[in-house]
Amino acid sequence: MIRLTENQIRACFVNASRREAAQATLPDLGALRWDRLDYLGWRDRKAPLSAYVVLELDGAPTGVLLRSSDTGPNRRRSKAMCAWCQDVIVTDDVTLYVARRGGAVGRRGDTIGTLICTEFLCSQNVRRAPTSVEAGTDLESVRERIVERRIAGLRERSARFVEEVLSTR
C-alpha cells in the first residue's frame, strides 16, 4: 500500500461526513509498515464502535467508515472466518462491521456488512507461513505462491466490499 498522509486519509472517505472524517482518531502513521499492508484498517480508540478502512481503489485511496457491534473485553466471541483474509487459523477475533453506503442511498440508511478481523490484522494473516496441511512438504516456491494467492484474494475481496459500499443499486 502507498504511504498516506493524515490529510489524504481524512479526505478519502466515501460514506462519512466531513465532520465524521475530521473527528476520526487516526493510528500512528509513522509506525506503520506500509509495504506490508494491503489496506489500512483501525478501530477508533476514542469511539470504540467506530472503525475505518482505507485501501487503493482504481489507483486512489478510498476510505470507508465502519460501525461494529460491541468489541469490549466482555463481548461474547464465537468462531467465524474473516470474509477478507479467510484465515483458518485466527477464527476467534472476527467482528461484524457494517458500513453505510455512499451517496443518497446511504443517507436513507442503506447499509452493507461483513465479517472482518476485529483488529484488522488481515495483511499479517495472509503473510503467515502456510501450514503443512495447506502446502504439504512442497518446495518453498509453492509456499510463496500460496502467500501470493492469499494476498491477491485479500485485495480483491476488500476492494469488492468497498465497491459495494459505493454501489447505488
Asked whether residue 73 is assigned to any structural domain, the reply reads: yes
Q: What does pTM read for this prediction? A: 0.89
- Residue 77 contacts by C-beta under 8 Å, 6 or more apart in sequence? 92, 93
pLDDT per position as a tens digit, 36-79: 999 999 999 998 899 999 999 999 999 999 999 765 666 666 78
Q: Positive or negative CA dihedral for 111, 152, 92, 49?
A: negative
Q: Tell the residue number behind the cell numbers 461483513, with chain if given.
A: 114
Domain extent at residue 86:
6-166
pLDDT per position as a tens digit, 96-133: 999 999 888 888 889 999 999 999 999 999 999 887 77
Contact between 154 and 123 under an 8 Å Cβ cutoff? The reply is: yes
Asked whether residue 80 is assigned to any structural domain, the reply reads: yes
- Residue 105 contacts by C-beta under 8 Å, 6 or more apart in sequence? 168
Number of domains present in the structure of the chain: 1
Asked whether residue 1 is assigned to any structural domain, the reply reads: no
Asked whether residue 129 is assigned to any structural domain, the reply reads: yes
Question: Could you give the 3-state DSSP secondary structure of residue 100?
Answer: strand
